[in-house]
Amino acid sequence: MNHDLESLKARVARLSVMIFDIDGTLTDGRIFWVPNSGWTQMYSVRDGMGIKRLQEAGIEVAAISGGDSLSAQMRMQSLGLRHVHFGSQDKVAHFEKLLTLLNVSAEHCGYMGDEVVDLPLLNAVGFSATVPEAPDEVRAQVHYVAQRAAGFGAAREVCEFILKHRARSAP
């Protein structure tokens, strides 16, 4: 999708909820085996700061992930996310439950994901974003493609875009 800045600003102005995929979005998609600890991923403190800034601006931040790891659970807890779904085989179903729980409509939600399995949810929200490493099919269908790499500031870039244009566009 090609979107001009004004249409993106209008989409961002409506956001009250921003949802993130974890693996390949908040991480670079790699997993590491740590003896005596198990599998782990690495997270960017910059991405975490972007999430915190969204929360401070009154945006509810959530995560819906197909994966489930102790490191992801610990990271989401450390960020203070109240709504996190791990091991999701149907992200849209979890999203619909979140809409009901938060009493918001899909157009007031954003989602950042990186894979073909994320497309149904990326197409269901008012604002969608992805990372530059995402498959062509995903990049072609979202509203915003980050320039920074997954796990290295892509989520922070999206958060900053939201904060910058939401503040200027809010009624």
DSSP string, 69-109: -HHHHHHHHHTT-SEEE-S-S-HHHHHHHHHHHHT--GGGE
| 23 labeled part of a ligand binding site | yes
Cβ atoms of 145 and 134 closer than 8 Å = yes
| 4 labeled part of a ligand binding site | no
3-class secondary structure, 54:
helix
| 28 labeled part of a ligand binding site | no
Which parts are annotated binding residues for Mg(2+)? Answer: 21, 114
Which parts are annotated binding residues? Answer: 21, 23, 114
Which parts are annotated binding residues for substrate? Answer: 23
